[in-house]
Amino acid sequence: MLNISPFYFLAFLTLFLALGVVLAKNPIYSILCLIGVFGCLSIHYVLLNAQFLAAVNLIVYAGAIMVLFLFVIMFLNLNKETEPHKPALAKLAAVIAGGSLLLVLVTALRDINPTGYDPASFDSQVGMVDRLGLVLFQQYALPFELASILLLAAMVGSVMLGKRETGERNF
């Protein structure tokens, strides 16, 4: 019987779904494959003992952002008649950009020497929520508060932009 580790199975499934995102003709199938990729990545986070990141990945990305993508694609009603044909120059530019990215990745990862972990110094609690909270509110308290002020200003700005003036008509 084959003894396949969960990591290799999930890595294969993630790559298979990522290819489905790129190669799917229907944008709805592409979005569904992307939701599967985010689900597999969340399981990878659980295997790395980062349960908080797994939950946030599922809630924020697979939940909120993918639903937003799905609604936008459904409202656009993309089909072959409305989608313009891509010229050969655009396809060539995409191949050159992808090849350049592959070259940069291979160059950056060429000299990496992966090592195992030392069981004596391994900390299994590194990805837990309480550790993340301690680091966030002790070491990164000022950037955290600045980000919250920035988000508050963005919410107030969006409310002010969306507010109707008296006598104004929106069509």
Which pLDDT belongs to residue 116? 76
Q: Is residue 91 part of a domain?
A: no
Q: What per-residue confidence (pLDDT) applies to 166?
A: 66
Q: What is the pLDDT of residue 164?
A: 64
> What are the per-10-residue average pLDDT scores of the chain (171 residues)?
79 94 86 90 89 87 81 70 74 91 91 79 76 85 90 84 66 51
Dihedral pair phi/psi, residue 125, rounded to 5° = -100, 15
What was the pLDDT predicted at 142? 92
Domain count for the chain, please give it.
Answer: 2
Domain limit, last residue, from 79, 95, 116: 79
Q: Does 1 reside within a domain?
A: yes
Decide: 39 and 16 in contact? Cβ < 8 Å: no
Asked if the structure places residue 88 within a domain, the reply is no
Could you tell me the CATH number of the domain that includes residue 40?
1.20.120.1200
Residue 152 lies in a domain: yes
Based on the domain organization, do 70 and 142 belong to the same domain?
A: no
Residue 65 shares a structural domain with residue 7 = yes
Q: What is the pLDDT of residue 15?
A: 94
Q: Considering the domain boundaries, does residue 87 fall inside one?
A: no
Is 155 inside any structural domain?
Answer: yes
Residues 142 and 69 reside in one and the same domain: no
Which 3 state secondary structure label does DSSP give 65? helix
The reply to whether 68 and 8 lie within a common domain is yes
CA dihedral 133, 139, 143, 144 (to 10 degrees): 10
47 located within any domain: yes
Domain assignment present for residue 34? The answer is yes
Q: Give the structural domain span for 46.
A: 1-79
